[in-house]
């Protein structure tokens, strides 16, 4: 698994057991703690840390991060400063699903760049398919 160190926020390579910067032992972290620290890392001032946190949240499908991802997407739209962060957040929202994400992306479609709009289209399709599958189970 790839980590963002919860102590120093350094991005660590896949399979490393310790942070090469501060020595944090990743075996001591619970999934719950790690998820919360990833959500917190979305607000980190270092673009690379926020980017990797969003990417990992999407990969792990951390559903409780939906609101935080949307908040960061709103901040990014307002500042127009990090197009790649914008795109990885939209990808993460597509991976984790959720009604709030679907509503936000579909209502704010025109606020995004052309490249991000293509990613939104894919994410909206994933969200739609996910809802249809959940309805079949009920």
Mean pLDDT over each residue of the chain, to the nearest integer: 83
64 and 35 Cβ atoms separated by less than 8 Å:
yes
What the block records as the tokens of 107 is: 């209502």
| Other Cβ atoms within 10 Å of 121 Cβ, number | 13
How large a percentage of the chain has pLDDT more than 70?
A: 89
Q: Specify the higher pLDDT residue, 1 or 28.
A: 28
Per-residue confidence (pLDDT) for residue 131, from 0 to 100 = 52
CB-based contacts of 105, cutoff 8 Å, min separation 6 = 90, 93, 120, 123, 124, 127
Residues in the chain: 138
Which of 14, 54, 13 is CA-nearest to residue 35?
Answer: 54
pLDDT in tens, 72-109: 988 877 776 688 899 999 999 989 878 888 888 889 88
Residue 136 pLDDT > 80: no
Per-residue confidence (pLDDT) for residue 129, from 0 to 100 = 64
Mean pLDDT of 4-14: 80
Tokens 């962060």 belong to residue: 85
Query: In DSSP terms, which residues pair with 87 in a beta bridge?
Result: none
Q: Specify the higher pLDDT residue, 2 or 42.
A: 42
């Amino acid at each position: 698994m790839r980590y963002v160190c919860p102590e120093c926020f350094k991005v660590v390579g896949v399979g490393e057991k310790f942070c090469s910067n501060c020595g944090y032992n990743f075996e001591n972290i619970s999934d719950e703690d790690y998820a919360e620290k990833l959500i917190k890392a979305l607000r980190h001032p270092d673009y690379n840390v926020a980017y990797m946190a969003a990417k990992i949240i999407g990969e792990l499908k951390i559903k409780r991060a939906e609101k935080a991802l949307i908040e960061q997407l709103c901040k990014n739209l307002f500042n127009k400063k990090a197009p790649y962060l914008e795109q990885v957040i939209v990808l993460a929202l597509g991976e984790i699903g959720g009604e709030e994400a679907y509503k936000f992306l579909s209502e704010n479609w025109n606020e995004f760049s052309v490249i991000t709009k293509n990613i939104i289209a894919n994410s909206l399709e994933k969200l739609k398919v996910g809802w249809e599958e959940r309805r079949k189970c009920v």
